[in-house]
Amino acid sequence: MTEDTQTFTPTRDASVHEAAPSSDSERAAAPWPRNAWYVACTPDEIDGKPLGRKICGEQMVLFRGQDGRPAAMDDFCPHRGAPLSLGFMREGNLVCGYHGLAMGCSGRAVDMPGQRVKGFPPVRTYAAVERYGFIWVWPGDQEAADPALMHHLPWAESAEWAYGGGRYHIACDYRLMVDNLMDLTHETYVHASSIGQKEIDEAPVKTRAEADEVVTSRFMDGVQAPPFWRMALRGAGLPEDAVVDRWQICRFSLPSHVMIEVGVALAGQGGYEADDAAKASSIVVDFITPETETSHHYFWGMARKFAVDDAALTDTIREGQGKIFSEDLEMLERQQANLLRYPDRKLLKLNIDAGGARSRLMIDRAIAAETMPE
């Protein structure tokens, strides 16, 4: 997977807040960091058309300008407040589908039949970047939006890796998904028919917190591969019934990304450190973008370092992974419903929760740093 064009469209206009969808106090109280890059959509979602999407409580419209660069602004027409995402693209401008007011990438009105509109105050715009096969936005302080702060993804820049993925809209707090991904014990139960196995429960879990990430790891030596990994072994040209060494290394980084190094290697060949010819290794890619306090956009996928030219295998893995994550979706949404139903009930904490707990602590510290008075 090669890196896509890298573009940047910051806003510097101080009067841009007139049509903002939420107050400053609401933004300050939000349970997510605002000064960060979040995945907003995939490039195909804005090919020749606008896309409406709520990111971190902000109702945005995303589109491409005439130069092909992505842009993002409030999904709010300054004329009558209609959603701009219901409009269409014309010569690089976003035309409101209600009365035809054309908006430029800067958030300013540029044209309307028979009217003078260039004096209209602008709507709020957001920095947008296209990189690594995704469109990213920065919902916070636009003066702080620096593309250099984006999480580096080496696999997305290398022809030695293949990638396939998708998106789910999930009705739960985004932090519940972080908890889910930083403790893979649930695989034995939620994903028993695909990636789960009893050895996951039996293998010790190690968690450590570093300056910029939380890492939870588990290693299982001398096991039989579960169905999903048997399929991966076949795709890598290895015997699917071989005894293998298996690993899971979950890495959380701000604002809400989890990269999970997973794989199996022929037993006795070095496990995680085995030569590529003796293993099937991948990175489970998880970009978790808050929508509201009880919903998020989940961009999932798998980057793999074997059989990278096999498009059919990419489709097979995507289909299998999609089914696995759909099982998480039901569990998480019903968990959220329970937590809303019984808000005063205290939850138990176990040692397997350390990865999620430390990730939440990192999130809380980032939020506190943003809201601390100067």
User: Is 289 a residue whose pLDDT tops 60?
Assistant: yes
| One domain, residues 233 and 342 | yes
pTM (two decimals):
0.88
Please state, rounded to an integer, the average pLDDT across all residues of the chain. 88
| One domain, residues 134 and 215 | no
What per-residue confidence (pLDDT) applies to 194?
66
Q: Count Cβ atoms below 10 Å from residue 310 Cβ, excluding itself.
A: 15
Least confident among 38-47, 111-120, 286-295, 323-332: 111-120
Q: Count Cβ atoms below 10 Å from residue 65 Cβ, excluding itself.
A: 19
Residues, the chain, total? Answer: 374
What per-residue confidence (pLDDT) applies to 350?
82
pLDDT class of 198 with cuts at 50, 70, 90: confident
pLDDT class of 192 with cuts at 50, 70, 90: low
* Residue 265, token pair as written in the block: 């290697």
Q: Does residue 132 contact residue 153 with C-beta atoms inside 8 Å?
A: yes
Of 91, 116, 149, which marks where a domain is finished?
A: 149
The CA-atom distances, in angstroms, between 10 and each of 46, 141, 143, 196 are: 19, 10, 8, 44
What per-residue confidence (pLDDT) applies to 372?
77
pLDDT digits (tens, 9 = 90+) for 40-82: 999 999 999 999 999 999 999 999 999 999 999 999 999 999 9
Cα angle, residue 368 at apex, residues 362 and 372 outer, rounded to 5°: 150
Cα angle, residue 11 at apex, residues 10 and 12 outer, rounded to 5°: 120
* Residue 86, token pair as written in the block: 């219901």
Q: What percent of the chain has pLDDT over 70?
A: 89
| One domain, residues 161 and 136 | no
Q: What percent of the chain has pLDDT over 90?
A: 72
Long-range residue pairs from 317-326, CB within 8 A, at least 24 positions apart, any chain: 317/164, 317/231, 317/232, 317/235, 318/164, 318/165, 318/166, 320/194, 320/228, 320/231, 321/164, 321/165, 321/284, 322/166, 323/194, 324/191, 324/194, 324/195, 324/228, 325/168, 325/298, 325/300, 326/168
| One domain, residues 124 and 241 | no
Boundaries of domain holding 99: 24-149
What per-residue confidence (pLDDT) applies to 196?
67
| One domain, residues 227 and 298 | yes
Of 149, 169, 200, which marks where a domain is finished?
A: 149
Beta bridge partner(s), residue 165: 301
The C-alpha atoms of residue 316 and residue 247 are separated, in whole angstroms, by: 22
Least confident among 54-63, 271-280, 320-329: 320-329
What per-residue confidence (pLDDT) applies to 15?
31
Assign residue 162 the CATH number of its domain.
3.90.380.10
Residue with tokens 């999903």: 228
| One domain, residues 144 and 159 | no
Tell which residue, 247, 252, 284, 249, has the closest CA to residue 165: 284
